[in-house]
């Protein structure tokens, strides 16, 4: 029973991080109909920016959140304005933007190899190994903090999308871009803003992930697939759906450790991705992602 609780709590704490990164991917897809294959690249970039700030300037990873979010936001806007915007919209552009963003990912990975070598890096702080007691368990301070920040981010994002004018405009553009143009919404501005918010979430997820796990320039490819599983499972646009799907994925991953030999646990996410795409292409919670 003790072990069971431990695993469930571990899964819940992990799910916060998963939901943050998946929401970034889902938001961009929901509004722009573009699968950001560079999601993993931004996650990796976020991890390295945080690492650099910690290593060179001694800034605590949690204090560097604004900087990392700002950097990945600007990076996302630059990618949208410079590249994605020039592709045809809609069906014809779907595969093209996939390949284009894949190219951007390759470039980012190569840049990271050149700048930071291929070695594994970690962000280690003095509280990395500390833990707090709760539910009769010892919880890592880092994991609890990451969970808290992830939940806070999702709440803020939800409020932004439902309560502010810009947030409502984003949701309106997702529903019908042409009508938005008619009523005076600057659709192009909303697109680049959305892309920026999506990548900012990816960057934040990268930084949070980097304070838990080690990373190298190919970090993020697994997270891209996990994000995709969650988006497909949870449907678009709903924070609750995303959170529930993130929890399901985290539970499956954590409990797979019990059932499978350790080297196979890495494959669980990939297998789940294929299963979800094939069995529930409409998502679990009714928001159809696929046509």
Partner 1 sequence: MKLLPHWVSRPALAALVAALAIGAVLPKVLGWSVYSQNQVTETLLFVAAALAWNWMGGYLGQVSFGHSAMFGLGGFISARLLLALHLPFWIAWIVGGLVAAGYALVWGHPTLRLRGPYFSIATIGVGEATRLVMTYWEDLTGGSSGLSLPITPGLKSELYWWALALMGAVIAGSYALRKSTLGLGLLAIKSDVDAAADVGISPTLMQDIVLLLSGFTVGVCGAFYASYQNFIEPGDMFGFDRSISFVLMAVIGGVGTIIGPAFGAVVFVMLRQYLIGSYPQLYLGIYGVLLIVVILFEPLGMMGLFFRIARRFGLLRPEVEATLEAKAAVGGAAADPGAREGGAP
- Where on the chain is the footprint of partner 1 (CB under 8 A)? 30, 33, 35, 37, 83, 86-87, 90-96, 98-100, 102-111, 113-114, 171, 174-176, 221-222, 224-225, 228, 232, 235-238, 263-264, 266-267, 269-271, 273-274, 277-278, 281, 287-291
Within the chain, residue ranges assigned H as helices are 2-32, 39-57, 65-82, 91-116, 141-163, 165-175, 177-182, 187-210, 221-234, 239-259, 265-279
User: Which one, 61 or 241, has the nearer CB to partner 1?
Assistant: 241
- For Cα atoms 181, 182, 186, give the angle at the middle one, nearest 5 degrees: 25
Nearest distance, CB of residue 10 and partner 1, angstroms: 22
User: Which one, 29 or 147, has the nearer CB to partner 1?
Assistant: 29
SS (H, E, C) 156-222: HHHHHHHHCHHHHHHHHHHHCHHHHHHCCCCHHHHHHHHHHHHHHHHHHHHHHHHCCCCECCCCCHH
The answer for residues whose C-beta is within 8 angstroms of residue 93's C-beta and 6 or more apart is 34, 87
User: Which one, 65 or 249, has the nearer CB to partner 1?
Assistant: 249
Residue among 106, 130, 103, 119 nearest 48 (CA): 119
Contact 25, 246 (CB under 8 A): no
Nearest distance, CB of residue 231 and partner 1, angstroms: 10
Number of residues written out for the chain: 291
Nearest distance, CB of residue 186 and partner 1, angstroms: 19
User: Which one, 134 or 260, has the nearer CB to partner 1?
Assistant: 260
User: Which one, 133 or 278, has the nearer CB to partner 1?
Assistant: 278
User: Which one, 30 or 61, has the nearer CB to partner 1?
Assistant: 30
The answer for residues whose C-beta is within 8 angstroms of residue 11's C-beta and 6 or more apart is 247, 250, 251, 253, 254, 255
Nearest distance, CB of residue 249 and partner 1, angstroms: 13
Which burial class, exposed, middle or buried, applies to 136 when counting CB atoms under 10 A from its CB (0-12, 13-18, 19+)? exposed
Nearest distance, CB of residue 141 and partner 1, angstroms: 31
User: Which one, 110 or 164, has the nearer CB to partner 1?
Assistant: 110
What phi, psi does 284 have (nearest 5°)?
-80, -25
Nearest distance, CB of residue 173 and partner 1, angstroms: 9
Nearest distance, CB of residue 138 and partner 1, angstroms: 31
């Amino acid at each position: 029973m003790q072990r069971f609780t431990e695993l469930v709590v571990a899964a819940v704490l992990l799910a916060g991080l998963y939901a943050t990164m998946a929401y970034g991917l889902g938001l961009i897809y929901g509004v722009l109909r573009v699968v950001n294959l560079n999601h993993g690249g931004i996650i990796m970039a976020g991890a390295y920016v945080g690492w650099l700030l910690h290593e060179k300037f001694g800034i605590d990873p949690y204090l560097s959140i604004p900087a990392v979010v700002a950097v990945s936001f600007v990076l996302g806007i630059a990618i949208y304005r410079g590249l994605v915007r020039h592709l045809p919209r809609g069906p014809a552009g779907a595969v093209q933007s996939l390949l284009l963003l894949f190219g951007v990912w390759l470039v980012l990975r190569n840049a990271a190899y050149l700048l930071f070598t291929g070695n594994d890096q970690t962000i280690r702080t003095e509280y990395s190994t500390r833990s707090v007691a709760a539910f009769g368990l010892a919880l890592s301070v880092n994991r609890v903090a990451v969970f808290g920040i992830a939940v806070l981010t999702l709440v803020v994002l939800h409020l932004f999308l439902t309560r502010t004018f810009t947030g409502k405009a984003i949701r309106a553009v997702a529903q019908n871009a042409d009508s938005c143009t008619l009523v005076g919404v600057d659709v192009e501005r909303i697109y680049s803003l959305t892309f920026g918010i999506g990548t900012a979430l990816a960057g934040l997820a990268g930084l949070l992930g980097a304070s838990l796990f080690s990373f190298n320039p190919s970090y993020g490819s697994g997270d891209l697939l996990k994000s995709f599983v969650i988006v497909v499972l949870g449907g678009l646009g709903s924070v609750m759906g995303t959170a529930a799907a993130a929890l399901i994925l985290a539970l499956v991953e954590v409990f797979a450790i019990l059932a499978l030999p350790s080297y196979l646990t890495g494959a669980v996410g990939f297998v789940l991705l294929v299963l979800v795409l094939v069995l529930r292409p409409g998502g679990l919670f009714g928001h159809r992602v696929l046509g």
